């Protein structure tokens, strides 16, 4: 899967990019027709603990799937966003099988 990583207003280190890439690559095991995807990493100026945001946008035939999660760290936000995306992919695959 071709994946574009965007870190908004900061420079993400290689270790973080590798972690996110590995997590996102596992999504292909749930749905193998993913065309490509984009991942956005953002630092929020919100008060509180959950000030890191990860957005995942995957392009699949006939649709675009999106998940966004906030957490204290990019790793935790990535885990939550990938988990949400996994559920969406399974649901999308079931819809495709029904047709």
For residue 8, give the CATH number of its domain.
3.30.160.100
Tell me the torsion sign for CA atoms 67, 69, 73, 75.
Answer: negative
The three-state (H, E, C) secondary structure of 39-97, written as one string: EEEEECCCCCCCCEEEEEEEEECCEEEEEEEEECCHHHHHHHHHHHHHHHHHHHHHHHH
Q: Which residues contact 11 (CB under 8 A, 6 or more apart)?
A: none
User: What are the pLDDT digits (tens) for 4-22?
Assistant: 999 998 999 999 999 999 9
pLDDT confidence of residue 47: 72
pLDDT exceeds cutoff 80 at 63: yes
What secondary structure letter does DSSP report for 1?
A: -
| Helix or strand (DSSP H, E) at 16 | helix 14-25
Mean pLDDT of 78-86: 97
Whole domain around residue 23: which residue ranges? 2-98
pLDDT in tens, 83-96: 999 999 999 999 98
Number of domains in the chain: 1
Q: What is the mean pLDDT of residues 52-76?
A: 95
The Cα-based distances of 78 to 5, 7, 64, 97 in angstroms read 12, 13, 18, 28
pLDDT in tens, 18-59: 999 999 999 999 999 999 999 999 998 777 788 999 999 999
pLDDT value at 65 more than 90: yes
């Amino acid at each position: 899967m071709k994946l574009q990583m965007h870190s908004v207003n900061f420079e993400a280190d290689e270790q973080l990019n590798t972690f996110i890439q590995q997590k996102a690559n596992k999504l292909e095991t749930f749905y193998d027709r993913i065309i490509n995807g984009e991942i956005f990493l953002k630092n929020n100026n919100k008060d509180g603990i959950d000030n890191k945001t990860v957005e995942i946008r995957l392009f699949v035939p006939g649709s675009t799937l999106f998940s966004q999660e906030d957490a204290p760290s990019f790793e935790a936000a990535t885990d939550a966003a990938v988990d949400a995306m996994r559920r969406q992919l399974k649901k999308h695959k079931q819809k495709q099988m029904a047709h």
